[in-house]
Chain A
Amino acid sequence: MQVSNTIDCNGLSPAPTLLRIMQALVGREDSTSPLNVLVGADCNCESLAVSLGPLAQDVQLASDAKQFAAVN
């Protein structure tokens, strides 16, 4: 099953957010563009990126979906 290039993690606490990102990255067929991850405004994106390790380079975190359009 194809995974969407944008996933909604808004409202999730950090641990399930990290899991959701990892699960989405495993299921992707198109790995040429980053996975867009919509997070809450209070998300500590820096900390999340550290926990993602090398996977962080495949992910674009933003609290507003409009920011993705500006990047992709």
Chain B
Amino acid sequence: MLEESSETSSPYASDPETPGFAFDPDDPWTQTFQEGLARADLKDKTVYEVGVGTGINVAFILQSCGARRVYGSDLDPRLVVLAERNIKILSPEHAKHFKPVHGSVSLVDTDEAREKIAKTDVVIACIPQVGEPSDERLTAFREAQSIELAEGAGDEAEDHIAHYYPWSLFDQYPYNSVGLGLNEALMRRIREHAPKAELVMNFGCRIGTEIICECFEANGYKPEKIASKIVLQHSGTDISFFVSLEKALNGTEYEKQLVCKFYGDPEGKRPLSATKAQEMINDDPNVPLYHEVAVIRGTPI
């Protein structure tokens, strides 16, 4: 009898190719997202992934969730090519059911992407929820709260665009004020081009799930949390945006309505504000901090 260790529990024959410019598929964000995808009733559905990255989710949806077909695109054109390659490695028998949209696609803003979205039952996405630290207006807002950018926060890692979005460009969306502008922009596009499609989106809930659910409702979706995990805060991701939000509300009657949610332990029993979390990072840049990642399903209302 073969013994199966937890380290060899991958359902795939081989490991995916994961260059530095791709979001790490072993990250707990991905694990949480896939827990949610497994509960999202994707069998026989046509799914579109906005931001395919390495293609690990596409392989999972086809192999483990029984999706009929998956479309996918990414802002970084290298990633769609990588995803195609990885799906052939991970799940060769399903590779023909992945129909990528090539080129650089922001959200679903090309004719081909919109044409595929219109034929989609479920749109899935895990896209940035933190404004680009060097954004000019975000910098002005941060400085207005007398908050300095943490040392190294302005450095760009290879997978920078997997973590941050150009905040000012999404200012027309009201929830941009709390870092959800990119996600709200996607909700509105799906509402326009695939009004019956469900959304399944992965969020780092540092601003709390309540306000994320509020964003779904304001854009015509009934939200439901279908998976959740407390994960380690990515040490390279700047949190000064969240500190700025808290500080701007200090002394107002709304300060208790938005307190960011970090934790000092992996069980999520010791809640910390972003301000406290930043103080701890300033004292020790390697201090382990945690936050919730949750998968929210939005059903059109």
Chain A residues within CB distance 8 Å of chain B: 1, 3-4, 7-20, 22-24, 26-27, 47, 50-51
Within 8 A of A (CB), among B187-225: 211, 214, 218
By a CB distance below 8 angstroms, the chain B residues around A11 are 174, 218
Known pairs A22-B141, A51-B252; A16 contacts B136 (CB<8 A): no
B87 shortest CB reach to chain A, Å = 38
B249 within 8 A of A: yes
By a CB distance below 8 angstroms, the chain A residues around B253 are 47, 50-51
Q: Determine which residue in A3, A23, A47, A51 has the highest number of CB atoms from chain B within 10 A of its CB, and name it.
A: A23
Main secondary structure on chain B at its contact with chain A? Answer: helix
By a CB distance below 8 angstroms, the chain B residues around A17 are 177
A58 shortest CB reach to chain B, Å = 13
Q: Is B144 a contact of A26 with CB atoms below 8 Å?
A: yes
Chain B residues within CB distance 8 Å of chain A: 136-137, 140-141, 144, 168, 171-172, 174-178, 211, 214, 218, 245, 248-249, 252-254, 257-258
A17 shortest CB reach to chain B, Å = 8
By a CB distance below 8 angstroms, the chain A residues around B141 are 22-23, 26-27
Q: Is A8 a contact of B172 with CB atoms below 8 Å?
A: yes
By a CB distance below 8 angstroms, the chain A residues around B211 are 13, 15-16
Complexed CA–CA distance, A72 and B51 (Å): 43
Q: Is A12 a contact of B174 with CB atoms below 8 Å?
A: yes
Ranked nearest first, the 7 interchain pairs of A and B with the lowest CB-CB distance are A20-B177, A11-B218, A51-B252, A15-B257, A15-B258, A15-B254, A27-B137
Complexed CA–CA distance, A26 and B139 (Å): 10
Complexed CA–CA distance, A64 and B113 (Å): 35
Q: Is A16 a contact of B137 with CB atoms below 8 Å?
A: no
By a CB distance below 8 angstroms, the chain B residues around A23 are 137, 141, 171, 177
Can you list 24 A-B contacts with CB-CB less than 8 angstroms, sorted by A residue number? A1-B168, A3-B137, A7-B171, A12-B175, A13-B211, A14-B254, A15-B254, A15-B257, A16-B175, A16-B211, A16-B258, A18-B248, A18-B249, A18-B252, A19-B178, A19-B249, A20-B177, A22-B144, A23-B171, A23-B177, A26-B141, A26-B144, A27-B141, A27-B168
Complexed CA–CA distance, A36 and B13 (Å): 58
Complexed CA–CA distance, A10 and B177 (Å): 13
Q: Is B214 a contact of A1 with CB atoms below 8 Å?
A: no
A40 shortest CB reach to chain B, Å = 10
By a CB distance below 8 angstroms, the chain B residues around A1 are 136-137, 168, 171
Complexed CA–CA distance, A11 and B196 (Å): 22
Q: Which residue of B lies closest to A13 (CB)?
A: B214
Q: Which residue of A lies closest to B258 (CB)?
A: A15
Complexed CA–CA distance, A22 and B140 (Å): 11
Q: Which residue of A lies closest to B138 (CB)?
A: A23
With A18-B249, A19-B177 given, name 14 new contacts (CB 8 A).
A4-B172, A7-B171, A8-B172, A12-B214, A15-B249, A15-B254, A16-B211, A17-B177, A18-B254, A19-B178, A22-B248, A23-B171, A24-B171, A27-B168
